[in-house]
């Protein structure tokens, strides 16, 4: 058995996308990291955000970075910093040399925006290809990308990596399960990328619609964008008769391709030629001993347009300390156990409670108290927003209540991209917490 709990099958000979890099001795890897960190610091000095921050701690350029230990002299970067730097505070190349941007929402209307040069996109595709190829895929596979395209990095990130491997790519996007089956059957899909909840949904719809497992050629799935347990992974593998591989990425670090499981499924290899990972205590911000759980902090080394140094991901994890049987020397992350902030992940979408509060509190008909509930509805997440109405709203008149409920629902959906259920309650009827208000009730089963 692997440490993740998944049985290790009789594995074929391990394949590497870039064997020299993936199996590089630690000393050589750290030398490469230092060279790239020095280059990244010089790039950061070109940005309006980092130049004064680095000078304030006595760093004027790469000449002040003598070793990897000097990384600790650099201040942390947070998501709020990225918002405060919107739109061009983190851009280190001329705007006319930018060929793409991706953005993600946060607690306010200001997005976090990441810019890419042509070379950045090429490097990103290569890292994703390394992930895909390391699971045993090759150019003979047919890849169906069942994830959202657009400003979200997961769609185009995996798309480009799969094309780099040479796979035939079907950009099906999310939803429309019946059409997904037809594509799988018509084109012989062997690999898919989706959220784990959608993969479970796929299996239930297969049964409901009478789609035979023998009619599809699926072998592997890449699951990400939301946390899920090993029990969920095993259930998907057993129900669909496939191998499921865990993926880790975040838009601030390009997107997918930061870390990925190999065929051993014993943690996610974080590609240390492209990223410097640290694990710190989220309260003291001091390093934790190897193997202990803390907050993951990442410095990107493989992007020229948007350098980001010591980014606090808020994700809680730790390093495996022993080497992997696959022969790769890059350290492995444990499964993400939670977050050190209040962000919720609902069906793969990042949602902050403050986003919901902003919508509700902007409506004069709404009272001062509200609750957010997240539950499982089958294999998918269900978001319910309960809010009191103002004291002047009569609960026995259904027409204005229905109109208000629908307006709240549509406004929330426009803000968080999720269609919530909205409940209206009489003023003063929802429970009030003493001290710090408890707004969020996440009733989903906890990961194990």
Fold of 346-442: GMP Synthetase; Chain A, domain 3 (3.30.300)
Contacts of 166-171 with C-beta under 8 Å, sequence gap 24+, read: 166/138, 166/139, 167/132, 167/137, 167/138, 167/139, 167/140, 167/141, 167/142, 167/143, 167/191, 168/141, 168/142, 168/143, 169/143, 169/145, 170/142, 170/143, 170/144, 170/145, 171/145
- Tell me the C-alpha distance between 248 and 201, whole Å: 21
CATH 3.40.50.12780 for the 19-340 domain, yes or no: yes
Give the pLDDT of residue 409. 94
Q: For residue 327, what are the contacts with CB-CB under 8 A and spacing of at least 6?
A: 14, 23
pLDDT of residue 278: 98
**Which pLDDT value is given to residue 424?**
94
The pLDDT value given to residue 354: 75
The reported pLDDT for the residue numbered 1 is 47
Six token digits for residue 167: 């796979």
- The CA dihedral of 198, 200, 206, 209, to the nearest 10 degrees, is -70
The structure tokens 């499921």 sit at: 244
Residue 172 CA, chain-centre distance (Å), reads 20
pLDDT of residue 12: 58
Q: Where are the domains of the chain?
A: 19-340, 346-442
Model pTM score: 0.80
Output the CA torsion sign for 287, 292, 298, 299. positive
pLDDT tens for the 448 residues of the chain, in order:
455 554 445 555 899 999 999 999 999 999 999 999 999 999 999 999 999 999 999 999 999 999 999 999 999 999 999 999 999 999 999 999 999 999 986 545 688 999 999 999 999 999 999 999 999 999 999 999 999 898 989 999 999 999 999 999 999 998 888 899 999 999 999 999 998 878 887 877 888 888 899 999 999 999 987 767 787 788 889 889 999 999 999 999 999 999 999 999 999 999 999 999 999 999 999 999 999 999 999 999 999 999 999 999 999 899 998 999 999 999 999 988 777 777 788 988 888 787 888 888 788 888 778 899 999 988 899 999 999 888 777 777 788 899 999 999 999 999 888 999 999 998 878 886 544 567 889 999 875 4
């Amino acid at each position: 058995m692997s440490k993740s709990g998944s049985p290790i099958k009789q594995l074929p000979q391990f394949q590497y996308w870039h064997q020299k890099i993936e199996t590089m001795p630690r000393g050589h890897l750290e030398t490469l990291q230092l060279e790239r960190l020095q280059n990244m610091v010089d790039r950061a000095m070109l940005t309006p955000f980092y130049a004064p921050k680095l000078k304030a701690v006595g760093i004027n350029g790469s000449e002040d970075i003598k070793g990897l230990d000097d990384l600790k002299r650099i201040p942390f970067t947070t998501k709020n910093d990225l918002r405060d730097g919107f739109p061009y505070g983190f851009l280190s190349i001329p705007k006319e040399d930018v060929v793409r941007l991706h953005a993600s929402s946060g607690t306010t209307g200001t997005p976090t925006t990441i810019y890419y040069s042509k070379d950045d996109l090429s490097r990103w595709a290569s890292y994703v290809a390394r992930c895909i190829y390391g699971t045993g895929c090759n150019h003979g596979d047919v890849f169906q990308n069942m994830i959202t395209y657009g400003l979200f990095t997961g769609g185009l990130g995996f798309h480009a990596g799969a094309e780099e491997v040479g796979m035939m790519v079907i950009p099906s996007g999310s939803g429309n399960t019946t059409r997904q089956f037809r594509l799988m059957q018509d084109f012989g899909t062997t690999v898919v990328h989706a959220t784990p909840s959608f993969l479970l949904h796929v299996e239930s719809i297969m049964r409901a619609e009478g789609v035979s497992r023998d009619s599809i050629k699926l072998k592997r799935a890449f699951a990400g964008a939301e946390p899920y347990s090993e029990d969920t992974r095993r259930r998907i593998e057993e129900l669909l008769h496939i191998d499921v591989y865990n993926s880790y990425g975040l838009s601030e670090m390009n997107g997918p391709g930061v870390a990925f499981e190999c065929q051993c499924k014993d943690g996610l290899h974080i590609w240390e030629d492209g990223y410097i990972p640290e694990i710190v205590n989220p309260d003291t911000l001091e390093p934790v001993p190897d193997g202990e759980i803390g907050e993951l902090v990442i410095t990107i080394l493989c992007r020229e347009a948007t350098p980001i140094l010591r980014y606090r991901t808020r994700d809680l994890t730790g390093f495996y300390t022993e080497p992997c049987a696959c022969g790769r020397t890059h350290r492995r992350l444990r499964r993400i156990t939670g977050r050190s902030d209040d962000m919720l992940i609902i069906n793969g979408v990042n949602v902050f409670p403050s986003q919901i509060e902003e919508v509700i509190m902007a409506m004069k008909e709404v009272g001062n108290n509200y609750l957010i509930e997240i539950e499982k509805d089958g294999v998918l997440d269900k978001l319910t927003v309960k809010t009191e109405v103002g004291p002047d709203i009569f609960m026995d008149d259904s027409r204005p209540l229905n109109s208000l409920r629908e307006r709240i629902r549509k406004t929330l959906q426009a803000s968080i991209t999720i269609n919530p259920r909205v409940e209206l309650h009489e003023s003063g009827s929802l429970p009030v917490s003493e001290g710090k208000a408890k707004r969020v009730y996440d009733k989903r089963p906890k990961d194990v």
